[in-house]
Structure 1
Amino acid sequence: MTTLTSPRALSLTQQPVTRPQVTDLRTLLAEAGEDGLLRNHRRLLAVSHHTTAGFPDRVLRRRLGDDRARLDTYLEALAGLFPPEAGYHHDRLQLRDELSSEQKETEPLNADAHLSFIGGGFTNCAEFAAGPGGPLEERPLWFVDFDGVYRDRDNTEIRRTRRTTFVGYNGEERVASAELEVPVPRGRVALDLASDLVSTDPSGGPTIPAGALLQPILEAISTHGVTHGRIQLHLHPEERGAGLTVNEFEALLMTRDLVELFESPLRWAAARQAGNALLSALRALRISRERRERLRDRVLARPTPRILRLRRDLRLPLLPDGPPGAPARPVQGRYQSPILVQWDPAPAGVRRVRATLWRFR
């Protein structure tokens, strides 16, 4: 008989060998001798610390089933819609003032990977049922790395080290929630919910970091003694023309490439390739032949951001900040930011977001 234990977290690393690469993380856990994490807890939260590597979200996993061939077909379709080195602004390193000359020599040209992650239905963390006899004994735990291998300016192959944190737990309870009104400056397509400056005064006036809007939820972590858990941000059901993601808030990616993506989602794919890529993606998602051909023709006639699989929620995992029992803090990779994106203007310049704090048991 297996005894279920208290929440536990561990981190493992890997180095991919292909671009893109799909890994069943159950294998990574088994090789590290940590597959007991799946047996000793009813739930598992898997967390990527990266902006171009993560997990198919729940809807995408359900659409793909457990079929690796379908996932590969879907990734090939995304590569057709977002081909590598297709003239993206993010890849014009001479314009990236935040990079030193030395960094520009090794910086990957990976705008395609960012756009595939944002527009393809991928997330920085995913939840799974676990425990004795649970689905993960039979079903894969896919981790998709869009650009773990690349070549620098000297054509030297670089293999990146990817880190995943696993949190085993047995259940969760909601301990606090708040309805947020997030001001979105006029003309903005993307807003960093952690550090962008916004004004809560409709007529302008003093600005505050957008992250300050989350302060009641952050304070509730200590108030309620949360040591393991998550913060979930979810767009209000009536919000349209917007999405949420965790990614890199790089200026050219957010103010140029994302704008162009929303204006013309098929702009980087050749006309014939776009049609084939759309058909492949719809086939991988198990859309019937008659319907997918109809959808392809409609999209090619009038491509809109609706064809993208932009998410309406995001999750920020919480782990202890210090010795056992210490209050938790949000876990984010070096370049990860919670981001609100929109392709239609926000009514009255405000987006409504519900923030919820969950405690793991």
Structure 2
Amino acid sequence: MKALCCFLFLYILSSPSLNEASVPAPTRRHLGPNKDTGVLTDFGFNFDIEINARLIFPSLRLKKAYFAFQEWKKFITSDPQNMLKNWDGADVCSYTGVFCENAPDGSNVMTVAAIDLNHGDIAGQLIPHLGLLTDLSVFHMNSNRFGGPIPSSFSSLTTLYEFDISNNGFDGPFPDVVFDMPNLKYLDLRYNNFEGEIPPQLFDKDLDAIFLNNNRFNSSIPENIGNSNASVIVLANNELKGCIPHSIGQMARLDEIILANNQLKGCLPKELGNLENITVLDLSNNNLMGSIPEGFGNLNCIEMIDIGHNQFTGTVVDAVCTLPKLMNFTFADNFFDVLEEKCDKPVKPELVLDCRQNCLPGKPDQKDETTCKRRKPQKRIPVL
């Protein structure tokens, strides 16, 4: 929690100045024509009337936050840990999971800067009123039982930096509202029921971390994935099809990419060898085929490679097994039939190689000979 507070302090100091003129017109229309009137025309109420007149708030922003939280409570159906027990009264900043800081526009006004209800096992829905929290920089809601759509009013969260709704029951298509969050850097939608296409706009957005794993996305990986500045991309455990785009080699900042447990096919693009800063590459449990690209020998920062449970053939080359930082190389359950010398007997004793269920002569736990012959391409005899 201390780390979260430090992050908020540093983020607010570095946030650009925001005022009503800088908010896009669609946002102002959604929340009413005047940010400071308290009237929300699309919601159909004036919260000056709705709120108990005896409550005193240090700022209009906290008054709006109070109203948003009270409305949200009405859509909470289960709170087994009583995390929201103290969500009453005007002191919004004392609510469990709510963190306040000075507003990022330099007005020296206290405002809600973060919500963190991780691991609360809370059931309910997100509501449009949360769009009132326009100074929010962190929204952490992982490991709960929220469902339904993400409200379009979240486009008002123009200072949001981290959006984590992982391990819930959200469904429907990819929530395009995240494209209206200009300062978003960390996006975590994993372990939900989102489905359909991964939109290409995702990789044009300046994100540092993208977690979409364990959903039901079933499109191909967009060709413009190489436009992304992300250091971590995890798309595992979906139903993604097609080939790995060649543009992936453009991702100079990429540190980890995990595409495991999908339905990807085709050969590995040689451009993977351009990922000079990558440390983790997991392409396991797909339908990929062909040989290991020569460029793999350029991955001098790589620590873990997993290409197991695919249909690769040919030779496991020394250039990979001698990479300076490689600690774990898994290529089990493929059709490799040759190990070069330094893969057969690694120079580094700490290197873990998993070569089971291939077609490697003399190695234990290999595929049977009939399976290997059936998979091995046959030489064509010319017709005379």
TM interval, short-chain normalised: under 0.3
Larger radius of gyration: 2
Name the TM-score, length of structure 2 as normaliser: 0.18
Q: TM-score, normalised by structure 1?
A: 0.19
Q: Which has the higher contact order (CA 8 A, sep 6+)?
A: 1
